Amino acid sequence: MMIVLTALGLPVDDISLIVAIDWFLDRLRTSVNVVGDAFGCGFVYHLSKNDLDELSKNDDIKTGISADKSYIVS
């Protein structure tokens, strides 16, 4: 980063301030990205919930497993 600042002719004295601000902004960008991905997953699940339930019922019928019974696999 210091090389870039020197090449642009900007002062390198306050590099610690720039690093601290960039660290904080990176955390915000990451949080926004994670929240956006979570909303996207929830939206896709909401739109395809009926199709997934139907596929699950069809799979249970094909395998002979009842949806109201639970099995312990060890």
Q: CB-based contacts of 52: which residues, under 8 Å, 6+ apart? A: 45
d(CA 69, CA 27): 45
Report the alpha-carbon distance of residue 2 to residue 10 in Å, rounded: 9
Residue 59 has pLDDT above 90, yes or no: no
37, 31 in Cβ contact below 8 A? no
Structure tokens at 28: 């915000």
pTM over 0.85: no
Domain map (residue ranges) of the chain: 16-62
Mean pLDDT value of segment 58-62: 67
Residue 60 near residue 66, CB atoms below 8 Å: yes
Segment 27-48, tens digit of pLDDT: 999 999 999 999 999 999 999 9
